[in-house]
Structure 1
Amino acid sequence: MTHFQNSPLAAEANAIANALLKNCRADNYAGYDPFDALNSDLFERVGGKVWPLGCVAWLQLHKRSPVNVRPLVAVPKQRNPKGIALIVLGLLERYKYLDDDAELAEAVELGKWLLTQSVDTDAWRHRAWGYHFDWAARAFYVPRGKPNAITTCYVARALYALGQVTSNGVFIEAAIDSGLFLDSLYTNDVGVEYYAYIPGESAFVHNASLWSAALVAEAAVRVGNDDMRDRALRVARQSVSMQRTDGAWIYGTRGHHGFIDGFHTGYNLEALTLLQETTGTAEFSEAIDRGMDYYRQHFFLLDGTVKYYHDRTWPLDTHSVAQAIVTLLKVGGTRNDQFLVERVLSRAKESLYMPAEKRFVYQKGRWVTNRINYLRWTQAWAFYALSLYAAHETNQPEPHHASH
């Protein structure tokens, strides 16, 4: 058992991760989600799903409400593939410093469950994953189970990690196959190259395209497909060419995509970093450095508070905090980044953690706090980030000095 003699904060992070894991286990890793309101049996029985705008309104009502009425409208707690993938990644980080075979076995069982949740390969040709709820947005409507890029990318990352730790080729093969699915999302729209977020939809969202590029490239390298690899690099160049001179990315290309937020910026930077590592190139280093400079300057207050948007602080969001820890450790890695992570952790414990419930709040606004317990969006992300930090402190006590 690791005792964290030289890092009291890592010991604290591990203790909170223990509590989160215990809570998640108590519900067999099922939970509510900010976007699961269309799973309401009541809403479906009254015919609400036939009205597209009604679906969006119903979903947003539940997402924004600080009171959880899901039990009253018959929304069940369920497992979410992306949430389970994050739990798997967290368990594997813990295995690095706890060396606990029971937790590794649990990660393997959750990985096997993920394999059972992939889409019908007869319909989609390859393994892929979607959400366990119907998803209504301004740009599109996605029925339950239809695959999307981000969920597939995170599940693939978890399966690759499982395969590497256990030498189980079944996990690796499934992850490679999902890379082939992601490659099928390739879109060339009047010379603009990207991977679509959802099959059949034309929305260009940078984080989905970049994460897809990273996972397509990994599959391409593993199977020796140079065309796939080159396509992934071209897609990444497209998003890099659209990075602002100050290092920022807006969310996407549609009119309502003009915002800049912290966790999607972190996604972009982490995906580009993984893409470089996979393909053995340094082509994107300058873009990553500019992006990290912008990220550090615009998404943190001096006390370690993580801002949601580049130009305003509220709401405080546990997901934003978790991705900040991941980005600073996996993309940044400087001594100053390490110090910033310590401030972020201390501030998050003070402002977002509920010690009596042993979990994190969803969001804290200037006036209202939403304490609803969301597994995928909140607790799974926090568990992964805390486990990553504890493993980093145990196995990499001395952060490096250069950003790349």
Structure 2
Amino acid sequence: MSFDVLVDNSIKSLYEWVKSEEYYGWDPYDALNSEMINKFCSDSQLLEILITQLNKYSILNIRPIIGIEKGLDIKGISLFAQSFSKIYTLTNDQRYKSDLFECTNILKNKSLKQKYDFDCWAGHYFNYRSFDGSILTPDIPDVITTSNVIKAMADSYLIFKDDELKEIVKSAYDFFIRYLLEKTDEGLYYLKYNTLSENKIVINASAEGLSAICRLMPLFDDNEMKRIAFKLSEFLICTQDSDGCWIYSKYKSGKVRRQTDFHQGFIIDSLVEYLPFAEPKKQDQLIESIKLGVSFYRRKQFLDNGRCYYRYPKLYPIDIHNQAQGVITFSKLSAFDVEFLEFAKQILEWTIFNMQDNSGYFFYQKNRILTNKIPYMRWGAAWMMLAMATYLEKWE
């Protein structure tokens, strides 16, 4: 079987599975989406964190037993929308245009504008308790989800030419400025992860915001928007370690969290997307940062056969989100060197052969012996749909 046929069969199989589920699915972190679990925890942060992590790492899907229902993940819908816009543009197949229209309407209806006065979106349809005790809920908008919705809406605007979509993405940008834009003690601009993130800075949050703004700049001749994009790129360059890596987050207490995984790809992508908008005198510094980041990402986080480390230097488990992001990032890097597209192909081939179920969805994680085969709509299906669509877009 040729690689073209392999990818074509894979994406069609995944598409059919997603459509059969009507976009509803489980999430690795959805333990608190259960009345039974919430009653058991009785608002204990420690219990909520513990059970969330146990549920995440269990290879047995006990969700139906403990009353965790499938949900509609907004971030997932935004990823599917981005995928459908790419596939429609490549194929002119009207069903993908219809799917894009459907996803766009879902995103419109899930906006939290009524509460925040600007369009914005929350990434969780359930409550989630993080390791540091912070809570995410369906009414707390975050920069990652809102950024991906902006990308989806901007893509949709280019296809449908609906001015309402243009108004929505501008409103979402204004949400960034009103609620999330902050300055470090050193005077660098960054975007908070969500409206409640006062005590920590998450590096990739600013990267995702920058990536979204890059989709907006061609639509709006806005000098302030260009200035903010430059400031965010400056923040990312300044927070990069000398080896090319970025930390995950930094707390006001001085504590640093290192989590070297797919988030490195997010940051590289954002700098690559910003490069065409950068002033010529700033491009050399930007390119050096990209090269340094790519060198670390390729040499340290991936094996030559296309499989990714979990969180460098930890090799296992093999995580589907890491694999998908590798395909996306190296496909985009093909603008610098076609060899990167060959490596994206290597990652994709390995992932299809080793992590796709016969029914179409992708496994969550593979350990040395056991495989977690629980189907996750956003974490696995949506990211792999976008990964394959991005590869096909760059291959064309």
TM-score, normalised by the number of residues in structure 2 = 0.91
Matched, 1:124 2:116: yes
Distance 1:342 1:220, change over 3 A: closer
User: Which residue is 2:258 aligned to?
Assistant: 258
User: Which residue is 2:44 aligned to?
Assistant: 51
1:186-219 deviation per Cα after TM superposition (whole angstroms, max 9, x unaligned)? 1123234311001121221111112213334654
User: Which residue is 1:69 aligned to?
Assistant: 62
User: Which residue is 2:237 aligned to?
Assistant: 240
C-alpha distance in structure 2 between counterparts of 1:230 and 1:309, whole Å: 34
Shift of 1:147: 0.3
User: Which residue is 2:207 aligned to?
Assistant: 210
User: Which residue is 2:312 aligned to?
Assistant: 310
Indicate the SS of the match to 1:175: helix
User: Which residue is 2:350 aligned to?
Assistant: 347
User: Which residue is 1:193 aligned to?
Assistant: 189
User: Which residue is 2:168 aligned to?
Assistant: 174
Do the aligned residues in 2 keep the contact of 1:183 with 1:212 (CA within 8 Å)?
no
C-alpha distance in structure 2 between counterparts of 1:122 and 1:390, whole Å: 38
Distance 1:256 1:43, change over 3 A: farther
Do the aligned residues in 1 keep the contact of 2:81 with 2:104 (CA within 8 Å)?
yes
1:36-80 deviation per Cα after TM superposition (whole angstroms, max 9, x unaligned)? 111112123x25251122211121111111111111111111110
- What is the root-mean-square deviation in Å for CA atoms of aligned residues? 2.0
1:279-299 deviation per Cα after TM superposition (whole angstroms, max 9, x unaligned)? 566252221121112211112
Alignment coverage as a number of residue pairs = 384
- Equivalent of residue 29 in structure 2, options 30, 35, 51: 35
Matched, 1:159 2:153: yes
C-alpha distance in structure 2 between counterparts of 1:105 and 1:93, whole Å: 13
Matched, 1:361 2:356: no
Matched, 1:115 2:108: yes
Shift of 1:83: 0.4
User: Which residue is 1:272 aligned to?
Assistant: 271
Read off the aligned partner of 2:190 and give its amino acid letter: Y
Indicate the SS of the match to 1:132: coil
Do the aligned residues in 1 keep the contact of 2:154 with 2:215 (CA within 8 Å)?
no
Shift of 1:390: 2.6
Indicate the SS of the match to 1:250: coil
Read off the aligned partner of 1:335 and give its amino acid letter: V
Matched, 1:226 2:223: yes
Q: Which moved more, 1:18-27 or 1:182-191?
A: 182-191
Do the aligned residues in 2 keep the contact of 1:292 with 1:332 (CA within 8 Å)?
no
User: Which residue is 2:321 aligned to?
Assistant: 319
Shift of 1:310: 2.9
Shift of 1:154: 0.7
C-alpha distance in structure 2 between counterparts of 1:61 and 1:256, whole Å: 24
TM-score, normalised by the number of residues in structure 1 = 0.89
C-alpha distance in structure 2 between counterparts of 1:166 and 1:101, whole Å: 12
Counterparts in 2 of 1:9-28, with a 5 A limit? 9-28=3-22
Read off the aligned partner of 1:273 and give its amino acid letter: V
Q: Which moved more, 1:378-387 or 1:187-196?
A: 187-196
Shift of 1:98: 2.1
C-alpha distance in structure 1 between counterparts of 2:361 and 2:266, whole Å: 24
Indicate the SS of the match to 2:183: strand
Shift of 1:10: 2.6
1:7-41 deviation per Cα after TM superposition (whole angstroms, max 9, x unaligned)? 93133112111111111111111000111111112
C-alpha distance in structure 2 between counterparts of 1:54 and 1:364, whole Å: 26
User: Which residue is 1:83 aligned to?
Assistant: 76
Do the aligned residues in 2 keep the contact of 1:10 with 1:389 (CA within 8 Å)?
no
C-alpha distance in structure 2 between counterparts of 1:118 and 1:271, whole Å: 24
- Give the gaps of 5 or more residues in structure 1: 1-6, 396-404
Do the aligned residues in 2 keep the contact of 1:217 with 1:275 (CA within 8 Å)?
yes
Shift of 1:244: 1.3
Shift of 1:233: 1.8
Distance 1:11 1:177, change over 3 A: farther
Read off the aligned partner of 1:190 and give its amino acid letter: D
C-alpha distance in structure 2 between counterparts of 1:392 and 1:338, whole Å: 8
Q: Which moved more, 1:46-55 or 1:357-366?
A: 46-55
Do the aligned residues in 2 keep the contact of 1:217 with 1:228 (CA within 8 Å)?
no
Distance 1:15 1:133, change over 3 A: same
Q: Which moved more, 1:182-191 or 1:194-203?
A: 182-191
Indicate the SS of the match to 2:182: strand
C-alpha distance in structure 1 between counterparts of 2:390 and 2:259, whole Å: 28
1:150-187 deviation per Cα after TM superposition (whole angstroms, max 9, x unaligned)? 01111110110011122122222212211111223011
Q: Which moved more, 1:226-235 or 1:98-107?
A: 226-235
C-alpha distance in structure 2 between counterparts of 1:210 and 1:389, whole Å: 21
Distance 1:156 1:15, change over 3 A: same
Shift of 1:105: 1.2
- Equivalent of residue 95 in structure 2, options 102, 105, 108: 102
Shift of 1:236: 2.3
C-alpha distance in structure 1 between counterparts of 2:22 and 2:115, whole Å: 30
Indicate the SS of the match to 1:34: coil
C-alpha distance in structure 1 between counterparts of 2:183 and 2:173, whole Å: 18
Read off the aligned partner of 1:27 and give its amino acid letter: E
